[in-house]
């Protein structure tokens, strides 16, 4: 149940952060926004880690180096989200992002990529993705 709460929280925070980043970008530019967002995120993460962190940075050498690309991927995410929301509006851009995330997550799960447990693709999941895409097209229809 707590995992569902965190998933809902993440969705709410992502939508809000997307809009905030877009508003910042109108004043200072896209790449500058990406830097500012990550800088403030780093400061916040350091504070949280200092007070609540239970892990250890000593094991960082044991991490698969590929996974360190999470940082540069975050830069691409902030830039792309800001650009998408700026040009398409929050609702349409976020809907596309959700469908894209689910599609890529399905591929990752289906093949067990990046150390994830393999979760086979089935007809229900495929139908769900198709229904979401159709829903997005209906959502964008002009009345």
Tokens 């910042």 -> residue: 24
Write the burial class of residue 131 (CB in 10 Å: 0-12 exposed, 13-18 middle, 19+ buried).
Answer: exposed
Return the number of other C-beta atoms located less than 10 Å from residue 18's C-beta. 21
pLDDT in tens, 78-110: 999 999 999 999 999 999 999 999 999 999 999
CA proximity to 101, closest of 29, 4, 15 = 15
pLDDT band at 140 (very low <50, low <70, confident <90, very high): confident
Tokens 């689910």 -> residue: 102
Q: List the chain domain ranges.
A: 2-53+64-140
First to last CA, the chain: 39
DSSP 8-class letter at 98:
H
What pLDDT, on the 0 to 100 scale, is given for residue 142?
75
What pLDDT, on the 0 to 100 scale, is given for residue 143?
57
Mean residue pLDDT across the chain: 93
pLDDT in tens, 43-66: 999 999 999 999 888 999 999 999
Q: Give residue 5's Cα distance to chain centre.
A: 17
pLDDT band at 1 (very low <50, low <70, confident <90, very high): confident
What pLDDT, on the 0 to 100 scale, is given for residue 20?
95
């Amino acid at each position: 149940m707590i995992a569902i709460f965190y998933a809902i929280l993440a969705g709410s925070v992502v939508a809000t952060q997307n809009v905030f980043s877009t508003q910042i970008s109108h004043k200072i530019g896209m790449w500058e926004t990406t830097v500012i967002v990550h800088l403030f995120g780093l400061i916040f993460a350091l504070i949280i880690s200092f007070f609540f962190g239970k892990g250890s940075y000593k094991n960082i050498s044991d991490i698969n180096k590929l996974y360190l690309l999470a940082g540069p991927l975050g830069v691409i995410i902030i830039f792309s989200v800001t650009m998408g929301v700026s040009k398409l509006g929050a609702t349409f851009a976020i809907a596309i992002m959700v469908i894209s995330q689910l599609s890529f997550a399905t591929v990752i799960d289906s093949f067990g990529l990046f150390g994830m447990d393999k979760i086979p693709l089935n007809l229900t999941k495929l139908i769900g993705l198709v229904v979401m895409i159709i829903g997005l097209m209906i959502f964008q229809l002009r009345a």
